Structure 1
Amino acid sequence: MVELLLRTHGPVLFNELVVIARADAEAQKRGLTLRDEQIDEEHQRFLRSMVDPLSGLGGEEFNRAEAEKVLDVVLAEKGLSREEYRLGLKRTSLLRLLVKGEVAVSDEEVEVEVRRRTGPRVSVRHIQVGSLLQAEQALSELRAGRPFEEVAMRLSGHRASAPEGGLLPPFSREDPRVPATLRAAAFALEPGQVSDPIRVGNWYHLLRVEGNVPPEGTPSESARDTVREELRRIREDERIPGVYQRLLNEANVEIHDPALRSGYHRLDPARRPKWAEE
């Protein structure tokens, strides 16, 4: 059993431990300290994005207890333990700590993004459910003539929009707060048209376009600050994989266990560090 675990989960877990150790050492050299609150913030962001792919548009606070239950289901489906998940959280939090000072967002970039978000937009209602079967059942009701608003209020699992009949805040064609697949579908629909089920992560969505929305006026300074912070986080997310790979490849590691070495040989070459190929 131990040999099987080393061949399967072993390399992935070992990579995590190597990167965490090296990231922690690099953070200490820079005088940076990872706080428990930062790990919890990373956890909350993941929970919210998992249960609500549209969380970037705002809305009420998510139910953390319910989100934790969903996480348990997702981890079980992937064959992962909470301990493995926590390792991943610590790794991501450490890497974000390292890249945070390397990311800058200019005023010009903020203005470009503000114009993108406040330009021509679309008004959409949606229904979010947990399975394709539920989505097809909701779609069947809509095709039978039931009002979209009624079906959304009764069946949608999206806590922020369900009480409003599924109505979302308007968004533009390139608004990064909305998953790309939903944006593409929304702008491909005519007003009043309902989409087929669209999968985003663990959820299925049905969309109905209400109509086009004209550009907004001049946004407030607080809105610009929000855009700046969101752009900063996007840039951090883009840099994290490269730092992960650098720390992994620069590690001075020798593998003596044959089962673990065998596991590395089975690993996708893109995830295999240089020292595992020697």
Structure 2
Amino acid sequence: MTHGSKFLMGCFTAVFTLAALTLVPLQAVSAAEAGPAAVVNGTAISRDAFDRQMNGVRQSLVQSGRLLNDVQLRDVKKRVLEGLIDREVLYQAAAAKGFKGDSKAVEDRLADLRGRFDTQEAYTKALKTMNLTEDILRRELTQNSAIEQFIDKELSKGISVSDAEAEAFYKERHELFERPERVHARHILAAVAPDAPESEKKAAREKIAEAQKRLQKGDDFATVASEMSDCPSREKGGDLGFFGRGQMVKPFEKAAFALKPGQTSDVVETQFGYHLIQVMEKKPAETVPFAKVKETIAEHLKKEKVKKVVEDFVSKTKTQAKIERTPVDEL
């Protein structure tokens, strides 16, 4: 799948899913129309729209290795359908208040999307594969934008988070702000599989030995990594960034955390092959001060408040709406 196709599917995710299940990006082959999946105040939610969402959910489950039994699948269908109904309720409320979406932002997003494909033909083909047209995509993005405007300017009005609320969250969830010891390292890898023939392992050992000789002669680590490493990090001179314990395989972790900044390891063998590791920086375990995370906490708490307001609004509005649902066993 191309990068453009992945982005295209991401564009089509529903703005809010107020059921417990978060809807995933759409990806589907079109299904024949067999009547609407639901009707909200006279506006139909097409079976195609439902099928696109369900196919996205199925693909996500397959990729995660999860299989659903019939009872679980039925429950997922119910949640997907309610998510689509929730979105339609929000859009109708937004339209009633005069929100039309930001057309310029939508067109900019579509232009960005087109630019992610090598040709117009590839773009059109990707849309067709997902049973979409640009007009459908434009309509959905515009509706999403209108919903966002409605939530930002109407439902979120007056919602704020005090310093006291933010500090209380910081104290109650202090474990979220504890950073373990971390190292910033780079490496050179001579890749070879654990079950590779001895001849391949010998070649990998010779390669890492040659890299080690260059380092011992004083060659720059990043230069040697960019020229000899088999890891994609070679594009950054072997730089792996900061990592904590448990993020790397054990032999690699043990060697990296044993080094002092500026030191380079001897050859380290892992399931990926042979490594030379250089630690650039170490940071001890610490608790992030409240002042550094106050704004992030406040933003999180505000989003939670807005989410609750939206959920309550949709729940109340649905009780006053005329909603017809196709039984999920027929979807």
Bigger-Rg structure (1/2): 2
Fold in common (TM above 0.5): no
Q: Higher helix fraction: Structure 1 or Structure 2?
A: 1
Q: Give the TM-score normalised by structure 1.
A: 0.42
Q: Which has the higher contact order (CA 8 A, sep 6+)?
A: 1
